[in-house]
Chain A
Amino acid sequence: MRVPRFLAVTRRIFMDLKNDKRTLALMFIAPIFAMFVFGLAFSGEVKNLRTEVVNLDRGPTDTVTPTFSLSGMIFGNIDKSVLKLESSSSVDAAKAKVENGDAYAVIVFPEGLTKNVLAAKQGKPISENTTVQLYIDQSNVNVANAVVKTVNEALLKTADQAGMKLPVTVDTVAIYGKNARFIDFFVPGIMAFVVFMLTTLLTLVSFVGERTSGTLLRMLATPLRERDIVLGYASAFSVVGILQSAILLLVGILAFHIIIVGNVLFAFVVIALLAVVSQALGILLSSFAKRESQVIQFLPFVLLPTFLLAGIFWPLEAIPSWLRPFSYLVPPTYAVDACRSVMLRGWGLGRIWIDIVALMGFAVAFLALATESLRVRKG
């Protein structure tokens, strides 16, 4: 009996797969890997947000250390896993911490909160302040939402315990990112990530081409040094990266009216640095690919985890603490943070220098490794 022709094709595909262990691994390990990465990195719960508490409430009798106060009850009902609370003595000092990026929010319990609420309970008109004031860094939409939600939940719980409706209101003031929407928060992040992803992939593809076509060897037989090749690629891709992000920003501004309060040029510096890091990574990874088609294999194992760890959708605070050290190992994390700080907080070099130093560190290390990876071939 003759085998149907289509089965010959089927059989050949299976034989190909059997011989290509990497593709085989890709097909079965990658989905499992992706599931774990999504499942672990993406609980979506924001945690450990540094929050300053300024308590000006002195209980029912205006004592310095009251034995009972409404603010104390609310304080006790705040979910401490979400908000990492620290006490601060003055509103200005607490706000300064948010302005410097050392905290995300300030909760201010006003003077006479307990007294005024008790008075209101006895039927007297609310003459005095019963508003809990929040100052929030809203440049991170998820963070802002989590703060407001947690405080409101604490108020509800307190009301439950007290068995009454609390005449307490919550007022929110944005320290950064006033009226910021998700898109405003998302664009700086995706801008950094797109440059990272495309630069890495483009360098990978063109460098695998250099290796397979023999042009790399040919270049190395000329007075060109390994570092010249790496620097040449770096210069080209940092320009491409800047152009990419400029176009992305333009469309963001025109189509989505995104908020940009800072100097975009600082963001471009960051993007150029990230592009240098990314192309060096591309050159490095190219030594693990024998053909252009194998470049696809890097997508689930390198780009996907980076995408999830870099804080593009979620703040780093939403990534489980045991996983967060890995966030600090992927370069886009710093670029995303810096671009967001520049565009939504209006920060200058003086405040994003840590991100820039980190990216420079990555750049130096990756450039050195990429140069070395070209030299190793001579062994």
Chain B
Amino acid sequence: MEEEKQDIQFSIEARELTKMYVNFTAVDELDLRIERGEIYGLLGPNGAGKTTTIKMLCGLLKPTSGEARLLDRTLPDRGVASMLGYMPQDTAIYPGITVHQNIQFFGQVFGLGKNEIAERERELLEFIDLEKWRDVVVAKLSGGMMHRVSLACSLIHRPPLLFLDEPTVGVDPELRASFWEYFEELEREGTTILITTHYMDEASHCDRVGFMRDGRLIAEGRPGEILEMSGTTSLEDAFLTYSRRSSER
């Protein structure tokens, strides 16, 4: 074990992470290990516990039991917040102020200096292709543009670890493709990304995927491995196969 830890650095390590509510268990003894610099896709239907998992990892929800380590720090650890990028499911930016003001706000929240914010903002606006919209009030943007601004806001501080909660829901196919280009570019820069989605076809972009159902991980592996193990040709069929197997058990 010790040797392995030195060889492979994990950005995220969760052990028996559990979130119980009065009536049900949202996340059930989840074990998760995500290597530094990989894109890990958490796949599953609505209500599988994906968002709850991300919220626990971001420190937004207290786990009922279990343990989580992010970037070698055991949660809860306030210090880790400055190294996380979190793009919530909701667009979660301020509609009444401009694109620039939103980006600036999050830059200041992460304690960046004025010049740093300005420089980073230029890069990000180019990255999300919204340079012309910098001084437009967010409420006037289209849904897809807002999503891109939201992504920029979670990248302002160059986080080494990025949580993306269904970043592509309600996003048109063209934009989805360009989002994945962004994510792969970030990966090349060394960012670890945990992404949730219920679009199975997107999972092929991930280094590894985990299928989640009823709060548990029912299968995990490289997309190719998963297809092989399940004997199916699409991840969608693979998920259904695993899903059936787990409910039979």
Contact surface of A with B, Cβ cutoff 8 Å: 213-215, 217-225, 377-379
Question: CA–CA, A224 to B59, complex, Å?
Answer: 12
Known contacts A213-B92, A378-B60, A379-B62; is-contact A219 B109 (Cβ 8 Å): yes
Chain B stretch 60-99: residues in CB contact (< 8 A) with chain A = 60-62, 78, 81-82, 84, 86, 88-95
Query: Are A214 and B89 in contact, CB atoms less than 8 angstroms apart?
Result: yes
Known contacts A221-B60, A378-B60; is-contact A214 B91 (Cβ 8 Å): yes
**Chain B hits for A224, CB < 8 A:** 109
Query: Are A225 and B91 in contact, CB atoms less than 8 angstroms apart?
Result: no
Interface string of B17-48 (1 = CB under 8 A from A): 00000000000000000000000000000000
**How far does the Cβ of A96 sit from chain B's closest Cβ, in whole Å?**
54
Q: What are 16 A-B contacts defined by CB distance under 8 Å?
A: A214-B89, A214-B90, A215-B93, A215-B94, A217-B55, A218-B88, A218-B92, A220-B59, A221-B59, A221-B81, A221-B163, A222-B82, A223-B81, A378-B61, A378-B62, A379-B62
Q: Could you list 11 further interchain pairs (A-B, Cβ under 8 angstroms) beyond the known A217-B60, A217-B88, A378-B59?
A: A213-B93, A214-B90, A215-B92, A218-B86, A218-B153, A218-B154, A221-B60, A221-B88, A222-B82, A222-B86, A222-B109
Q: How many residues does chain B have at the interface if contact means C-beta atoms less than 8 Å apart?
A: 26
**Chain B hits for A221, CB < 8 A:** 58-60, 81, 84, 86, 88, 163
**How far does the Cβ of B82 sit from chain A's closest Cβ, in whole Å?**
5
Known contacts A222-B109, A225-B78; is-contact A213 B86 (Cβ 8 Å): no
Select from chain A the residue with minimum beta-carbon distance to B82.
A223
**Chain B hits for A222, CB < 8 A:** 81-82, 86, 106, 109-110
**Chain A hits for B94, CB < 8 A:** 213, 215
Question: CA–CA, A355 to B86, complex, Å?
Answer: 44
Select from chain A the residue with minimum beta-carbon distance to B83.
A223
**Chain B hits for A378, CB < 8 A:** 59-62
Select from chain A the residue with minimum beta-carbon distance to B106.
A222
Question: CA–CA, A219 to B111, complex, Å?
Answer: 13
**Chain A hits for B111, CB < 8 A:** 223
Select from chain A the residue with minimum beta-carbon distance to B80.
A223
**How far does the Cβ of B141 sit from chain A's closest Cβ, in whole Å?**
14
**Chain A hits for B58, CB < 8 A:** 221
**How far does the Cβ of A14 sit from chain B's closest Cβ, in whole Å?**
30
Query: Are A223 and B62 in contact, CB atoms less than 8 angstroms apart?
Result: no
**Chain B hits for A225, CB < 8 A:** 78
Select from chain B the residue with minimum beta-carbon distance to A212.
B90
**How far does the Cβ of A229 sit from chain B's closest Cβ, in whole Å?**
10
Instruction: Tell me the dominant secondary structure on chain B's binding face.
Output: loop
**How far does the Cβ of A116 sit from chain B's closest Cβ, in whole Å?**
74
**How far does the Cβ of B222 sit from chain A's closest Cβ, in whole Å?**
29
Question: CA–CA, A220 to B76, complex, Å?
Answer: 13
Contact surface of B with A, Cβ cutoff 8 Å: 55, 58-62, 78, 81-82, 84, 86, 88-95, 106, 109-111, 153-154, 163
Question: CA–CA, A220 to B55, complex, Å?
Answer: 10
**How far does the Cβ of B160 sit from chain A's closest Cβ, in whole Å?**
15
Question: CA–CA, A377 to B92, complex, Å?
Answer: 17
Question: CA–CA, A223 to B89, complex, Å?
Answer: 20
**Chain B hits for A379, CB < 8 A:** 62
Select from chain A the residue with minimum beta-carbon distance to B79.
A223
Select from chain B the residue with minimum beta-carbon distance to A222.
B109
Select from chain B the residue with minimum beta-carbon distance to A229.
B109
**Chain B hits for A214, CB < 8 A:** 88-92
Query: Are B91 and A213 in contact, CB atoms less than 8 angstroms apart?
Result: yes
Query: Are B93 and A220 in contact, CB atoms less than 8 angstroms apart?
Result: no
Select from chain A the residue with minimum beta-carbon distance to B64.
A379
Interface centre among B62, B88, B154, by most A CB within 10 Å? B88
**Chain A hits for B88, CB < 8 A:** 214, 217-218, 221
**Chain A hits for B84, CB < 8 A:** 221
**How far does the Cβ of B89 sit from chain A's closest Cβ, in whole Å?**
7
**How far does the Cβ of B201 sit from chain A's closest Cβ, in whole Å?**
26
Select from chain B the residue with minimum beta-carbon distance to A232.
B109
Question: CA–CA, A171 to B186, complex, Å?
Answer: 86
**Chain A hits for B90, CB < 8 A:** 213-214
Question: CA–CA, A220 to B88, complex, Å?
Answer: 11
Partner of A223 from B61, B92, B110, B163 at Cβ < 8 Å: B110
**Chain A hits for B154, CB < 8 A:** 218
**How far does the Cβ of A264 sit from chain B's closest Cβ, in whole Å?**
32
**How far does the Cβ of B95 sit from chain A's closest Cβ, in whole Å?**
8
Question: CA–CA, A214 to B154, complex, Å?
Answer: 13
Pick the 8 closest A-B CB pairs, nearest first. A214-B90, A214-B92, A221-B86, A221-B58, A218-B92, A214-B88, A223-B81, A223-B82
**Chain A hits for B59, CB < 8 A:** 220-221, 378
Interface centre among B92, B95, B163, by most A CB within 10 Å? B92
**How far does the Cβ of A216 sit from chain B's closest Cβ, in whole Å?**
9
Question: CA–CA, A220 to B91, complex, Å?
Answer: 15
**How far does the Cβ of A235 sit from chain B's closest Cβ, in whole Å?**
14
**How far does the Cβ of A248 sit from chain B's closest Cβ, in whole Å?**
25
**Chain A hits for B163, CB < 8 A:** 221
**Chain A hits for B93, CB < 8 A:** 213, 215
**How far does the Cβ of A291 sit from chain B's closest Cβ, in whole Å?**
14
**Chain B hits for A377, CB < 8 A:** 60
Question: CA–CA, A379 to B82, complex, Å?
Answer: 22
Query: Are A220 and B110 in contact, CB atoms less than 8 angstroms apart?
Result: no
**Chain A hits for B106, CB < 8 A:** 222
Partner of A217 from B81, B82, B92, B109 at Cβ < 8 Å: B92
Question: CA–CA, A213 to B102, complex, Å?
Answer: 14
Select from chain B the residue with minimum beta-carbon distance to A228.
B109
Select from chain B the residue with minimum beta-carbon distance to A225.
B78
Query: Are B109 and A223 in contact, CB atoms less than 8 angstroms apart?
Result: yes
**How far does the Cβ of A379 sit from chain B's closest Cβ, in whole Å?**
6
Select from chain B the residue with minimum beta-carbon distance to A379.
B62
